[in-house]
Amino acid sequence: MTVPSLELNDGRSIPQLGFGVFKVDPDATERIVSDALEIGYRHIDTAAIYGNEEGVGRAIAASGIPRDELFITTKLWNADQGTDSAHAAIDTSLEKLGLDHVDLYLIHWPTPKRDLYVESWKALEQIRAAGKSTSIGVSNFLVEHLERIAGETDTVPAVNQIELHPYHQRPAETAYGHDHGIITEAWGPLGQGKYPLLELPEIVAIADAHERTPAQVVLRWHIQQGHVVFPKSNSRERIAENFALFDFELTPTEQSSISAMERGGRVGGDPAEIN
Ligand SMILES: NC(=O)c1ccc[n+]([C@@H]2O[C@H](COP(=O)([O-])OP(=O)(O)OC[C@H]3O[C@@H](n4cnc5c(N)ncnc54)[C@H](OP(=O)(O)O)[C@@H]3O)[C@@H](O)[C@H]2O)c1
């Protein structure tokens, strides 16, 4: 199965489907990421705060897959925002991953009360210039945070990674991204299992019509919306299921019926409040 790539605003490209490792137990990470790589995933989304960068690194090393065929993202944690601490944090992440660079480094949350995200973004510009991350971006940024970055720095983030699923579609952030060349990465693409998204009769009916699972339908909706997604699963069977998205297509009516499910249903933290 070939995963399509999307072009980033810095001329690089990103596989539209990856594997996320939030809440993957550090002791199980090497095995689970190895499963994902065997199944065919080439894009892994981790973060310093997940505590499992070493496991991701071990799976990469054991895979024998050439480095330039992989796309690895990690993130700067809130407590490490600031110039010196950001430089130290990327070095620590690279050491844990066993890599000399990542493909994408993100500011994990804007943490507006700290008021360090503009300074941290300038540090990420330096990290990119030093070759420690090929591309740089942000996560959980609201439009007001993106506007400040645009007004006070020279680089437009390549991506904004935000909570996004059929119950919480983030029209303001996705429109800003569309207008400014920022790719939207959807975290919690399945609603983190906290909503009965996969049991909704409309989703189940679409899945039955395509002889697919509800999870595949929701993930396919994301793909057709143009989002980058990296669903997480601990189960090899589901990891394989979530990878099989490119041999069927939702009709425009099915796509719009899922888009009509918006209900402002955030499952994670409020980016304006997390500090
Ligand atoms: N930037 C941020 O602040 C942020 C925040 C959260 C997440 N993320 C990133 O986004 C990634 C994905 O989001 P997420 O892990 O929070 O949530 P998610 O992918 O929406 O949901 C994961 C949940 O769905 C279940 N699941 C996975 N595949 C399934 C399937 N085919 N059928 C039924 N259930 C299935 C998993 O259970 P099992 O494991 O039991 O299969 C798990 O409980 C993360 O791993 C992380 O890389 C970023």
Q: Tell how far the Cα of 66 is from the centroid of ligand 1, in angstroms.
A: 26
What tens digit of pLDDT does each residue of 37-71 get?
999 999 999 999 999 999 999 999 999 999 999 99
**Structural element, H or E, at residue 5:** strand 5-7
The preferred substitution site among 233, 242, 273 for testing ligand 1, maximizing ligand atoms within 8 Å of CB, is 233
Distance from the alpha carbon of residue 16 to the mean position of ligand 1, in angstroms? 16
Contacts 24+ apart (CB under 8 A), 220-225: 220/245, 220/248, 220/249, 220/250, 221/166, 221/250, 221/255, 221/258, 221/259, 222/164, 222/186, 222/189, 223/4, 223/16, 223/17, 224/249, 224/250, 224/255, 225/255, 225/259
- For 14-192+227-232, CATH gives 3.20.20.100
User: Average of pLDDT values for 115-133?
Assistant: 98
Q: Quick: pLDDT tens for 161-209.
A: 999 999 999 999 999 999 999 999 999 999 998 888 999 999 999 999 9
For residue 26, what pLDDT band results from cuts at 50, 70 and 90?
very high
Q: Tell me if 232 CB under 6 Å of ligand 1.
A: yes
**Which residue in the list 50, 117, 167, 176 is annotated as catalytic?**
50
The question of whether 50 is a catalytic residue gets the answer yes
- 205-250 confidence digits (pLDDT tens): 999 999 999 999 999 999 999 999 999 999 999 999 999 999 999 9
Return the pLDDT at 185: 99
Name which residue sits closest to atom 13 of ligand 1, judged by CA.
Answer: 188
